[in-house]
Structures are given as C-alpha cells and as structure tokens.
Chain A
C-alpha cells in the first residue's frame, strides 16, 4: 500500500538552510508518525501526531526540529539551520487509529535529505 505520499523524495540543502518535508497520510488516517533513518542504522522514532495535536515528541531533537499536522493539509517536518548530521532518510507513516488497536503503520517512500 503506497497511500502515504511524501515529498520531496530527495532534498539537498546547504548548512544553515531550512528543510521542510511533507507527508500526506492515507485517506482517512488521522495518526501520523515520523521516523528518521541514519546511514547504516534502523528507524528511530521522532514524533507522533494526530490532527492538530502532538501526542508524543520524545524522539525529536530539542532544537531546530518541529512537526505539525494541521486540520487541513499534510503533516510537515521542519528542520531549521540544517547541519551535516541531519542527512538521513525521513519516513512518514500513518494509521487509522492507535497502533495497539489497528496493528499496522502504512509507510511512505521516504524523503532523503542531504546536507552539503
């Protein structure tokens, strides 16, 4: 199921610039998750949002990173003043309800950020 749409698929930024990654969940899904995959590492949880609310941001770096999921439109992961260490693949996933009830996340194809 490739219903989760992420864009851009590839993004190149210079140090100090801003990166904005967008995620449109599967139609009807109101739960969105962002994960980051660093080279040669697994997926690390960043943030879990429901419409207009951040439910769990325990995996978000304290500075420069923010996420939103407005009432209308896609979820946005924003990285300000990017550094080389931010280079990674950022994956968005959605679900109809909470994982314990629905049992599955649907993933997008990821946005690959390269910081020069």
Chain B
C-alpha cells in the first residue's frame, strides 16, 4: 500500500523567507504526485501536479516542486513567501492506474508579516 510522509507538521517563517516542505512516499511503481493547499476557512485546492516529463514542476502562486525518483521525494518550494501563503499544505500520491489519492499528514505554514 502506498503511504506519504511530510516531515514537518508546523513551519513558522517571516515574509520573504524561502520555504521548502518535504514529502516522501513509499510505492515502488509509477506514481502521480500532487501538492494541495488549504487556506484558512477554504477548501483544498490544487497547487501543482506531476505526471511525467520534466521533474521540476511549476505551480500557481510561485510554487514549484521537484520529483526525485531515486529518493521517492516530491518537495515543495517557494523562494520568497508572503503572508498570504499562510495555509496548510498537503502532499498526495496516486499510484498509476490507481483510483484514489493518498495524502500526507499536512504541514501548517505560518508566515509572519
């Protein structure tokens, strides 16, 4: 069975700082990878996804993620965060030909103005 782990439960940083959130998954086959974000009081929405091709994926709002197959990782990055990036971030995996997303435990990010 596939599983996803996110290393940090809580991250606090100041505006303009760089952000990197770790995500590792356990599944030996081909996977599709996702990062979702949940802003306070809102529903989850897709930040970016990787299916194939360039392992460096660009998403909305200046986020990017890099798929490193040898490390089973899909870390999320943003060079300079803003206060509006305060949210909870979820990494998710779908085994190719699978029919569900498996989510990590989430990382709560607080950006101080």
| Chain A residues at the B interface, C-beta cutoff of 8 Å | 1-2, 4, 33, 35, 40-45, 48, 55-56, 59, 91, 93, 98-100, 103-105, 107-110
Minimum distance in angstroms from A33 CB to a CB of chain B: 7
In angstroms, Cα B62 to Cα A84, docked, is 41
Contact indicator A1/B32 (Cβ below 8 Å):
no
**18 extra interface residue pairs, beta carbon distance < 8 Å, beyond A42-B103, A109-B43:** A4-B43, A33-B100, A33-B101, A35-B103, A42-B104, A42-B106, A44-B103, A45-B103, A55-B99, A56-B100, A99-B32, A99-B99, A99-B101, A100-B94, A100-B96, A105-B46, A105-B101, A109-B42
Range of interface residues on chain B? 20 to 34
Q: B-side interface residues toward A, CB under 8 Å?
A: 4, 6, 9, 32, 34, 36, 42-46, 49, 51, 90, 94, 96-106
Q: How far is the CA of A4 from the CA of B102 in the complex (A)?
A: 20
Minimum Cβ distance to chain A for residue B47 (Å): 11
B48 to chain A, nearest CB (A): 10
Q: Given the known inter-chain contacts A42-B104, A45-B101, A56-B100, please indicate yes or no for A1 contacting B90, CB distance below 8 A.
A: no
